[in-house]
Amino acid sequence: MSPTPPHDPSFGPDLVEVFGPQQTDGGPELVQLLTPEGERVHHPEFDLDFSADHLRGLYRDMVLTRRIDTEATALQRHGELGIWAQLLGQEAAQIGAGRALRPQDHVFPTYREHGVAWCRGIDPLDLLGLFRGVDHGAWDPAEKHFGLYTIVIGAQALHATGYAMGMQRDGVVGTGDPDRDAAVVAHFGDGASSQGDVNEAFIFAASYNAPVVFFCQNNQWAISEPIERQSRIPLYQRALGFGFPGVRVDGNDVLATYAVTQAALQRARDGQGPTLVEAYTYRMGAHTTTDDPTRYRLSDDVEHWKLKDPIARVEVYLKRNGLVDEAFLADLKKEADELGHHLREGCKALPDPEPGAMFEHVYAEETEELRVQREGFAAYHAGFESEGAR
């Protein structure tokens, strides 16, 4: 019943071409506008004229974001934070993405989007609460158009898609009014691309043509696991299989990231549907302050990526072109120092929640049983305090 076939047909070249080796430098498809050496290059699809103000602004954002990160890392070392998720090396990806937003756009971040939070006008001090253990996020997501940090990997990609579907229903997509049309950005990492939720988000977004930009920071690592464990081809290509465009951008190039995200957002706002942006970057630090990357990766790699520092290249460009002067840099340094001071003092002053706060906001409408537990706890606590410790 199952004869041996006369010849074994093999799959033609068009079926295997996707198996190209992982390009160590992002490959020819990498969209770049500013080289690691600080040279401005051009791209046929994604290019923009950046004003001097704009460039200085992006530079300032990155410098201050890095300062937030180093301060928080230090605060963790000093025991003021339980843990901190560093973004070192990913400043350009985040500032490029964050600054491409319009006020009416909405963002769903992971736990590492401190730079995007900065662009959304969130006081960096408000980011520390989660890591200090005093809250799960201190800002109002609706007011800031910036969701709470999501820790369950990938879950927010679906929230973003649903939010975008809500925008469609609100009639704020494709009207042509730039102050009205809106889109959503879903942030996630390379590791997250393996989660069912992220892939389902691709499916829903494609199916409903939802105005959402999937912004994946491929920082090459998911804790100890290299990107090769998650995908054998460049991640941006994942989108093609779901029927929407994917772009790989140099995530250490703030100009390119800005340009690509901006275009993807505009596409979404115009009603043309989702895009996957893969920001090709590198996690220069540990996964979090509790991680020890020396167990699983070579310091050579880190050294290699140091040469691609996202801030240094803009600095070189700005200086070489006389777009910054000493006064600007001195002001910025002062601003960073003040920010550092604000974070250090602010963090230590963050009050612990009242114990009774743990009973609050479980529901919009508290249940009778929870009221009883809350009051029982309060009485127990009160009795305990008046009695003194056993």
Partner 1 sequence: MSTSRITLAKGLNMGLRKAMEDDPKVLLMGEDVGKLGGVFRITDGLQKDFGEDRVIDSPLAESGIVGTAVGMALRGYRPVVEIQFDGFVYPAYDQIVCQVAKMSYRSKGRSPMPMVIRIPFGGGIGAVEHHSESPEAQFAHTPGLKVVACSNPVDGYWMIQQAIASDDPVIFLEPKRQYHADKADLDDTARPDPLFTSRVVRAGTDLTVLAYGPTVKTALAAAEAAATEGRSLEVIDLRTLSPLDMGPVLDSVRRTGRAVITHEAHVNLGIGAEVAARVSEQCFYSLEAPVLRVGGFDTPYPASRIEEEYLPDLDRVLDAVDRSFEF
Ligand X SMILES: Cc1ncc(C[n+]2csc(CCOP(=O)(O)OP(=O)(O)O)c2C)c(N)n1
Pick from 78, 183, 193, 61: nearest CA to 128 = 78
**Which residues between 207 and 246 bind Mg ion (CB under 5 A)?**
219, 221-222
Question: Amino acid identity of 99?
Answer: R
**Backbone torsions φ then ψ of 49, nearest 5 degrees:** -90, 120
Distance between CA atoms of 373 and 86, rounded to whole angstroms? 38
Q: Which residue has the tokens 């704020």?
A: 172
125 versus 192: smaller Cβ distance to its own copies: 192
Residue 188's H or E segment, with its range, is strand 184-189
**Which residues between 305 and 334 bind ligand X (CB under 6 A)?**
none
Of the candidate residues 52, 152, 298, 379, the single one contacting ligand X (CB under 6 A) = 152
Partner interacting with residue 296 (select from ligand X, Mg ion, partner 1, none; CB below 5-8 Å by kind)? partner 1
For the purposes of burial, counting CB atoms within 10 Å of the CB of 99, is it exposed (0-12), middle (13-18) or buried (19 or more)?
A: buried
Does position 190 bind Mg ion by CB under 5 A?
A: yes
Cα 284–Cα 288–Cα 290 angle in degrees, nearest 5: 125
Partner interacting with residue 219 (select from partner 1, its own copies, ligand X, none; CB below 5-8 Å by kind)? ligand X
268 versus 284: smaller Cβ distance to its own copies: 268
Q: What are 327-333's contacts with CB under 8 Å, separation 24+?
A: 328/56, 332/60, 332/63, 332/64
Does position 283 bind ligand X by CB under 6 A?
A: yes
Does position 76 bind Mg ion by CB under 5 A?
A: no
Q: Which residue has the tokens 């004869």?
A: 3
In the stretch 188-207, what mask flags binding to ligand X with x, by CB under 6 A?
xxxxx---------------
- Please count the other Cβ atoms lying within 10 Å of the Cβ belonging to residue 339: 19
- Active-site annotation holds for 304: no
Distance between CA atoms of 205 and 211, rounded to whole angstroms? 8
Question: Amino acid identity of 50?
Answer: F
Using an 8 Å Cβ cutoff, are 192 and 216 in contact?
Answer: yes
- Please count the other Cβ atoms lying within 10 Å of the Cβ belonging to residue 219: 26
Partner interacting with residue 378 (select from Mg ion, ligand X, partner 1, none; CB below 5-8 Å by kind)? none
Pick from 215, 237, 234, 263: nearest CA to 46 = 263
Smallest gap from Cβ 112 to Mg ion, in A, equals: 9
Partner interacting with residue 253 (select from its own copies, ligand X, Mg ion, none; CB below 5-8 Å by kind)? none
Of the candidate residues 153, 235, 279, 324, the single one contacting ligand X (CB under 6 A) = 153
202 versus 221: smaller Cβ distance to Mg ion: 221
Q: Of these residues, 66, 67, 106, 287, which one is catalytic?
A: 287
- Active-site annotation holds for 159: no
Smallest gap from Cβ 30 to its own copies, in A, equals: 14
- Active-site annotation holds for 296: yes
Q: Which one of 138-146, 149-157, 232-240, 374-382 is the stretch in contact with ligand X (CB under 6 A)?
A: 149-157
- Reading phi first (left if > 0) and then psi (alpha if -120 to 50, else beta), residue 303 is in alpha
Closest residue to Mg ion, judged by C-beta, is 189
Its sign, for the CA torsion 228, 230, 231, 234, is negative
Q: Of these residues, 136, 296, 341, 380, which one is catalytic?
A: 296
83 versus 323: smaller Cβ distance to partner 1: 83
**Backbone torsions φ then ψ of 269, nearest 5 degrees:** -60, -30
241 versus 333: smaller Cβ distance to partner 1: 241
Q: Which residues bind its own copies (CB under 8 A)?
A: 1-3, 5-12, 15-16, 18-19, 44-51, 53-54, 57, 61, 99-102, 194-197, 199-200, 203, 206-207, 228-233, 237-247, 259, 262-264, 266-267, 275
Smallest gap from Cβ 139 to partner 1, in A, equals: 9
Smallest gap from Cβ 76 to its own copies, in A, equals: 30
51 versus 290: smaller Cβ distance to Mg ion: 290
List residues with catalytic annotation: 283, 287, 296
Q: Which residues sit at the interface with Mg ion, rule CB under 5 A?
A: 189-190, 219, 221-222
